[in-house]
Amino acid sequence: MSDDALDPVIHAQARLRVVATLAALGRGNRITFPRLQKLLEMTAGNLSTHLRRLEEADYVSITKTFEGRTPATYVELTPVGALAFERYTEQLRALLGGVS
């Protein structure tokens, strides 16, 4: 893979949507799985599959916690993921000849 190749982990419609949404939440923010699912309008199974792939690449971190007695799963973009997304968008802009 050359340096110019688009990151294959991000450059797939569904995962791009996940990463772009998490990036838009801003650094240091995390979101519950159901809220993310609602924002993305994806099925739970589909979202889980893509999140696993992103987690393997260390692009997202998934935290399972309890709020009172209810279990909650939080998803957050890691610094590695944020950097990869930044690089990816820069590459897209460069490919389009600097058109934003």
Q: Does 34 bind other proteins (CB under 8 A)?
A: yes
Q: Does 28 bind other proteins (CB under 8 A)?
A: yes
Distance CA 35, CA 12 (A): 21
Write down the least CB distance from residue 17 to other proteins, Å: 5
Q: Pick between residue 80 and residue 93 the one whose CB is nearest to other proteins.
A: 93
Out of 1, 3, 4, 26, the residue judged to bind other proteins by CB under 8 A: 26
To which residue do tokens 């792939």 refer?
A: 53
Q: Pick between residue 56 and residue 58 the one whose CB is nearest to other proteins.
A: 56
Distance CA 9, CA 88 (A): 10
Distance CA 57, CA 16 (A): 14
